[in-house]
Structure 1
């Protein structure tokens, strides 16, 4: 009897051990591909504008949505000094100016990823003007920038001068990306979806040397010489975009000063209707030679050595009239599909985001809260009548070089938007002045980075050989139980 029980118990132990070994082998043999989470990728872009340069660091997951990465801004850094075009006479300083911001960028990008980080520098209207004036100097500046960037452990892809149309189109992409016009994330579906009735916004950009307008015209009527085509998140977009070189804020002020001097017969004392009363600014006639926008030969003005003092008069209506003379509206004749200088533009359509200098000037006058056109006009007219003493005491923290120019800048914005682009009392309410959406800056740079992710091959989700978690857990549990039962049977056998 004892021998029979012993044999039975031994048989049980053998069966349990066999089952344990079988489960272990099966768990090891049943290996399948296991998908790992996507890795984070980074990109670095320098925005080399006419008056200053900024750096932006972006990041996105490697599993892209319909070939367009879901990009977010990680860092922004303002480069000290003027724009890189100001270093035409000393190109190495253009490269050196970027170092401080690049050092900051490397602090937010993991060291292990830096060698694979694509880095770009896009230069806009300041460098476009320098290239017109002195192409070899422009090339030297870009070469020094590249030389500096190649010293950093990133995948530098080059420094290039963007066309005005590229600048405008990328600004349009940025706005609609940030406002989720292209795609929205659905927590319920756990995926990105294309909005059924997407509200596509237009873009209005005002820089130091150029200004851009970009939007989707109503219907399909468009002059394809002024169009840009994009595919984003699996959808095609055709937009109208145009850039006006020499119509940026800083170049407008230079052109305005030149015209006032040319038309004046007062010699070295010239009235400036846009400057505050009792404000004086002395400028050198030779300064007009520094830009192609004011360096054209003009028999009415000798661009020799000499100074002229601009005397502020604070006259809003005369300021507006002087600014309108900077535009050649007569070149359009009776055409409604024309802005100025004979440039084609379909009628403005939809809502617009006005950023950069559009925003900064209106923000200073507290005009970014959706005020009516009548209220905007009244506020600008009132500001233009204030004396320099009044303004200086009211805005002690404002840059004294910038403060006297707000009257001219805001009147210029009104002329550009109303007379050139043909917004009116009704469509004015479709313009929103803002510089940020969430924590991201509005501008062409994010759109540039977003579009460039199409050039970076979408990574397949990384796969490794591994155990299916549910099978592995089941096997471990079964093995533990069978071993425990086997141990119990063994103890029972010992004490029988």
Structure 2
């Protein structure tokens, strides 16, 4: 029988000692033998680091996590996170992959400034790419990953096996759920409730929550809407799905009728969601599109909603159970657009009802011709979020969402969960 080595203790053993997971699993190691001998008092905290890159469709982000192991505590704790991001995402460099490597190399400077030089060689370096690379042809995506791998291999940090890869969409949702529940203290053995997550990226969107009713899993369209993994001696069976092509930028393309279009230089893509007199170029995923409002037509919320409904209807599955006590944290572009619309504070976030998105979408869309908003896409984006929540997932107007960017000063994303998975090997299936 394997000894029960707690997750974060295992993290310390793996990171500091350089032992393989198997070695950690098969022997109860004496911490005093493997923790670094530091010129500090015996009871001083010992600090460890981990670096996770989130290669998203609209930007590349670096998360440098600091963990503390104190002699007086059984487990290390996540002390803080250094976060930085760069736009555009790696997929924008599909035809100039060396730029992807330069982007990662630039962000690595953040890790070098954050992690003390003596700790570099034992600090793991991991990159996971999401929808931006999933939407690219496999050969182009692999070329970008190869560039990143070269930069990693040249770095002074610990580069584990499988350090650079494209993340499965379902795992993205599950690991975001793990991050948020870890940060909110809902993974403790005595925790009675968990929180659900809604993540709206540029290329994909995820929903994940812990169902209370068997029917929720049984009524899912296919088996891959349900995922299981073990964590802290508990087995979690989650409802989770990622919709590739339903992130906010991909939804813009689909609404405009530009998704998968060719000969872009000769076409202008029009929408009632844009101001009548608006005409400009817009880039996403390394491609540039000519977009405009409908000069001879009408603009406004109703027409816009009809357009975005085509992107949602028949594509997004409505889970059987959403309301029964599940608190949902919504982040990424849900948060960003709520800030842009003046619905929440850009630092504190806040609680919103679904109807708040709907109300503001109507106000913005019905005034875009007379009073163009700061972003010409704000009407489209707010209407899409409203449609996604209501006609997509099936949330009620009165459903309350927790809009957040950070929890305990840590970014709300899948990145922390992915780092925990890297050390713990959750065996998600």
Change (3 A) 1:385 1:58: same
Alignment partner of 2:335 out of 355, 359, 362: 359
- Is the aligned partner of 1:404 residue 2:376? yes
The structure showing larger relative contact order (alpha-carbon pairs under 8 Å, at least 6 residues apart) is 1
User: Which secondary structure does the structure 1 equivalent of 2:81 belong to?
Assistant: strand
1:164 counterpart residue number: 169
Conserved in 2, the CA contact under 8 Å of 1:146 and 1:159?
yes
| Residue 110 of structure 2 corresponds to residue 107 of structure 1 | no
**Equivalent runs, 1:89-488 vs 2, <5 Å:** 89-130=95-136, 134-157=137-160, 158-183=163-188, 194=189, 196-221=190-215, 222-223=217-218, 224-258=223-257, 272-281=271-280, 309-311=292-294, 313-329=298-314, 340=315, 343=317, 345-348=319-322, 349=324, 350-368=326-344, 369-387=350-368, 390-391=371-372, 395=374, 403-426=375-398, 428-429=399-400, 431-454=401-424
Q: CA deviation at 1:451?
A: 2.4
Shift of 1:63: 7.8
Distance 1:69 1:388, change over 3 A: farther
Describe the SS at the equivalent of 1:326: helix
Go from structure 1 to structure 2 and tell me whether the alpha carbon gap of 1:75 and 1:360 turns closer, same or farther (over 3 Å shift).
same
Aligned residues: 367
1:110-133, Cα deviation, whole Å (9 max, x unpaired): 211110111100000001111xxx
Q: Verify the 8 A CA contact 1:68 1:453 in the aligned structure 2.
A: no
Any stretches of 5+ residues in structure 1 without a counterpart? 1-32, 184-193, 292-305, 330-339, 396-402, 457-496
The alpha carbon displacement at 1:272 in A equals 2.1
Deviation of 1:268 (Å): 7.1
Seen in structure 2, the aligned counterparts of structure 1 residues 346 and 69 have a Cα distance that, compared at 3 Å, is: farther
In structure 2, the residue corresponding to 1:204 is in which secondary structure? strand
Deviation at 1:388, TM superposition (A): 5.4
Deviations 1:146-180 (A, max 9, x none): 10111111111221100100110111111111111
CA 1:437–1:65: 2 relative to 1, 3 Å? farther
SS of the equivalent of 2:135 reads helix
Paired residue for 1:74? 81
1:478 match: none
- Is the Cα contact below 8 Å between 1:202 and 1:213 reproduced in 2? yes
Q: Distance in 2 between matches of 1:49 and 1:282?
A: 22
CA distance, structure 1, for counterparts of residue 406 and residue 50 of structure 2: 20
- Contact 2:331/2:403, CA 8 A, preserved across alignment: yes
Query: Do the aligned partners of 2:55 and 2:127 also contact (CA within 8 Å) in 1?
Result: yes
Q: Distance in 1 between matches of 2:146 and 2:138?
A: 12
Distance 1:94 1:289, change over 3 A: closer
Equivalent residue, structure 1, for 2:19: none
For 1:256 and 1:180, how far apart are their aligned partners in 2?
Answer: 39
Going from structure 1 to structure 2, the CA distance change for 1:105 and 1:361 (only over 3 Å counts) comes to same
Structure 2 SS opposite 1:404: coil
SS at structure 2 position matched to 1:390:
coil
CA deviations 1:255-302 (Å, max 9, x no partner) are 111179x9xxxx977752111243223679xx99959xxxxxxxxxxx
The root-mean-square deviation of aligned C-alpha atoms, in Å, is 3.4
- Give the structure 2 partner of residue 477 of structure 1: none
Aligned equivalents of 1:375, 1:356: Cα separation in 2: 17
2:59 is the counterpart of 1:52: yes
Which one has a larger percent helix, Structure 1 or Structure 2? Answer: 1
The corresponding residue for 1:484 is: none
Which moves more between the two structures, 39-48 or 229-238?
229-238
Q: CA deviation at 1:232?
A: 2.9
SS of match in other structure, 2:294: strand
CA contact (8 A) 2:69 2:77 kept: no
SS in 2 for 1:353: strand
Q: What residue is the counterpart of 2:91 in the other structure?
A: 85
